[in-house]
Every structure is written in structure tokens, then in C-alpha cells.
Chain A
Amino acid sequence: MRYFILTNNPLAAKEFGETHDVRFINCGLRDVLIKARDLINDGAVLLNHPLYGSVKPNETPFRSLLLQQGIPQTGNMPAPADPDSVRLIGNAVSAFEKFIVKKEITDPKLLEDFQVVDLSLLRSAVESADR
């Protein structure tokens, strides 16, 4: 299946950069969700869930999403948005907004821990996608 990885996690970009279509964006977690939302509105289909299972969205600064490119229709019309993807990304943005965002994390060890966990969840999704 053809898909790409949208991520702000440098560790994920490093791990999958050679083998996968990685679109790295240097931004905060909310902006990753918003960017994904824009892509989804233009027809991209979300392949993994935009929220973690328990690390709260205000805690970790990193997120990696698997998206399948929408296929444009004739006449340059963008692909129709996938309703499930729209709902999931919308709920994720709301979920993000209801948590109090903490101060920026600067401790490099902690940042690495968050990157490792994000990478682990991403790897789990990639394994499913590449089966």
C-alpha cells in the first residue's frame, strides 16, 4: 500500500527516512494534527489513530501519522474526504484542546523518551501497514 508518514519526531524520520515516504515537519504536536486535518480534508485517509492509548496529547510533543494519499478525481477536483478520518482527526484536535498544555520540554533525556515511545507506536502501525 502506498502511504506516507507525517511526523515531527526526528527519530521517526531517521528510522524510516530511507525506506518510507516521510514528510517531516518541524512543529508542535497540535500543528501536526492540524496539518493532518488539512490533508484529510483534501482526501488523505488516516491509517493509524491520531491519539495515543494513554500518553496524553498535552504531554508528548511528538506524533507520527500514517496517511494514504487521496486520489484526485477528474478535472482537478480533490478526492472526497474520508468521513472516518475526518471524525477521528477532529476528535483528536478537540481532545488535545481540552488538556492543559504544559511548558515546553527542554530536558534532552525526556525528549528522547517521548521520541522513543512515539517511534514505538509508529513502528507498530508501520508493521501493520507493510504486512
Chain B
Amino acid sequence: MRLELGKINITDIRFAKESKIEQGVLYIDPDYLKPVVLEDEKIRDVVFDIAKPGESVRITPVKDVIEPRVKVEGRGGVFPGWTSKVDTVGSGRTLALKGMAVVTAGKIVGFQEGIIDMTGTGAKYTPFSKTLNLCMVCEPVEGLKQHDYEAAVRKAGFRVAAKIGELARGLEADEICVYETCGIREGIEKYPDLPRVAYVSMLQTQGLLHDTYVYGVDAKQIIPTILSPTEIMDGAVVSGNCVSACDKNPTYIHQNNPVVEDLFAQHGKTLNFVCQIITNENVYLADKERSSNMTAKLCRMLDLDGVVVTQEGFGNPDTDLIMNCKKIEAEGVKTVIVTDEYAGRDGKSQSLADADAAADAVVTGGNANEVVVLPKLDKVIGTLDYVNRIAGASEDTLRPDGTLEVELQVITGATNEMGFGTLSAR
């Protein structure tokens, strides 16, 4: 499959009377987007705001981060199963608005976490301090249940991102990257001497606030399967995960999957990037066994030499990670796993909730329990009301001088387990 990804660099976002993209500036009329959000009767109101790198702004609680894209050539449209039909995506041409993101925020449950600071200590840890963020805070109608609220905000985010993406249709890309994978036989013929490598992407699939969707399907109901890595660039995998800010994979990170990018960079040079395998992280132990068995079997049947395995979340998924690693290694396929750590505030505790000697090649996104102090910022988009209750915070989090003492856990993307950032630990 071959996908051309055209990048349109966005250098500023401004509210305006007319929505358009001109010379790298995104002009947005809130009234252009509002009906898109309010078409769901579960949402009473929405407020848009803009947060720019370096500004004294804190966005919290963050639900999802999404990159606006539009499909201009080839089958299907972006976010299949949501804003488009379920045509197989990942080929043709897609335009992406680079340097910006749509950030959905708002309280869904009282302990929801996720902080994006645009300046100060927190900004060092979140990748989204470097993007121009169009934030949308959704108000639910009275009495809306948590499940319905989560779904409403999730879907509204995709609609808004797709709507903004539409503004790029017809524009000239600043840069075009081409991603192409081969069929099985083609790959073997073309790169007979290169090791066959795939990417195993574990998706968080546990229940409310912990879900991921593939072409609109709740991934806890899938059996592990293969994707062309270009499919995710069109939004084939999206996040419904609202908790565990530091190590959840927002939709943006699925769209810009760093492992996929870095494997493509080596494709045809040091390795043959065969495909992406997606699997889930269910709560039920027999499901974990089945999914890891299937994943290992796929690795064997695809005649792989090696895989990179990435995780999402902490605790329960450590068991999936270790099962995958152990079983894939047992098939004679070499693994590198990417995770993060919960080694305690003092760094002295066991980092993972499960372990095995087969996991001899580990990349870590750092210790999520490390404590940092975030400065008081001038403006809050969303609300600080719940900040004392989020994971990695305590009763004393909000200090009298307005600073926040928190664990890295609360910061969106801080210890990302797809290796999106440079944070690590030893």
C-alpha cells in the first residue's frame, strides 16, 4: 500500500469571521465549528479557545488530542467508522495540518487527568506544548451518563478535526512524504537479505475511559489482526482513552505513530517493514491469553525476524506486554518492547507489574511517579477543580502559592509508550 502524506505547516491559529488556511495561518470562525459539535444532542454547549507554545496557559483535564487531516485522493476518508464510511484507508493522498492539534477537554469523571502546560516545567514533558492547540471544552446536557458523555466528546473531536482538515482540501502541501509497504511475496523478492520486521501495537481496551477503536469497532472485541501502517495515518485507529495521561496514546500519536515512522525510515535499508499488528489489552485473563497467542502466531506465519512491541497504560497491560514478548520470542522472533515505569516516587520500587527474562530488550519512557512542580499559570482552559483527585496527585497537589506538585503521570504524553518523546530512565 502506498500513501502520500502532504504536510501543510500551520504557523498560527486565529479566530476570524471566515474559516480558511492562508499562508500557513489557520483562521477559524467558531460558528463554523460549533454546529459540528452541537449536531450531537448530548452536548449542550462548546467553547473554543487557542493555546500557543510559550503562553502561560494550562489545558486540563485533556481527553484527546487529534491532528486535522483530509483525504484528497484514494479510497475512503479520514477517521473511518466515524466521520467517513469504513472503506479501507491508507492509500492515495492525505493532507495533514502540521504544527497544530485539536484538544478536547472537559470533565467526564471526577478523577480524569491530563495536563498540557504551554510553558514552564510541564511543557518540557508534554509533546503538545509544541503544537498550536485549538481547544474545545464540551458541556453535556443535564444528567448525561459518563459513557454517553465520553462517546459524545470523543466523536465531536473527530468531527471537528475532519472539518478543519476540509479547509486544506485543494491546498499545495509544503512537503510530501511517501510511505509504501510491499505485499508478502513482493517484499521477499525485493529485499531478500533484509530482516522482516513488524510493529506490534497494543491497544488499551478495558472498558469505560480505557477504550480504543479500529475502523469504528471497539478493539476489545477484535482478534489481533494486521494493518498496513499507512492505515493509521488516515485515522483507522482512534483513542477513547481518557485516563492515564502520561502513557495513553491520544489519537494524534496513533496518526503520527513514531514507531511506524522510524521503521519506515529504515525500510529497504536495514530492514523490511512488513506490517503493523494490532492487538488488545482486555481485562479478562483468557482474552489476554488468546490475544497474545494470536499475535505470536501472526508473527510466525508472517515469517518475521523481529518486532517492536508497544504498550498502552500501566498495571494490567504489563501482563499483556510480557505475554506478547514471551510468546513472540518463543516463536523465534526477536522483540524489543517499549514501556514506561512506575518505580515509586523514590524510584526504588519494581517498575513493572509483571516481568520475564525473555524481555531482554526494553526501551523505557521514564518513571511516571517522578514528582515535578508545575508553576502557577495565568490562564486555565478547562478546570482545575479536580486536580487534587487525579492519578499522580494528592490532597496537597494544589499548593497555596498556586503551584502544583504532581507526578509525571498527570502530564499528557509525558512517558509515552510508543516512544514519542525522549524521556527515559536508568
Contacts and interface: CB of A to CB of B under 8 A. Distances in A.
Direct touch of chains A and B (CB < 8 A): yes
Interface of A: 46-57, 59-60, 66, 84, 87-88, 91-92, 94-95, 98-100, 102-103, 105, 107, 109-110, 113-114, 116-117, 120-125, 128-129
A123 B340 CA distance: 28
Contacts of B286: 47, 128
Nearest to A94: B350
Interface in B345-367: 345, 349-350, 353-354
A92 B220 contact: no
A54 B412 CA distance: 13
B210 interface: yes
Given A49-B288, A54-B204, A117-B207, A125 B244 contact: no
A121 B288 CA distance: 14
B247 interface: yes
Interface of B: 109-111, 145-147, 204, 206-210, 220, 241, 243-244, 247-248, 281-288, 312-317, 319, 342, 344-345, 349-350, 353-354, 369, 389, 391-392, 394-395, 409
B285 A49 contact: yes
Contacts, number: 137
B105 to A, nearest CB: 17
A121 B287 CA distance: 13
B315 A51 contact: yes
B283 A92 contact: no
B319 A116 contact: no
Contact of B204 (A53, A60, A102): A53
Contacts of A109: 110
Contacts of B244: 53-55
B147 A120 contact: yes
B399 to A, nearest CB: 16
Nearest to A98: B349
Contact of A52 (B145, B315, B369, B409): B315
Central interface residue in A55, A57, A94, A107, by most chain B CB within 10 Å: A55
Given A103-B395, A110-B111, A121-B206, A57 B315 contact: yes
B284 A125 contact: yes
A105 B390 CA distance: 12
A28 to B, nearest CB: 17
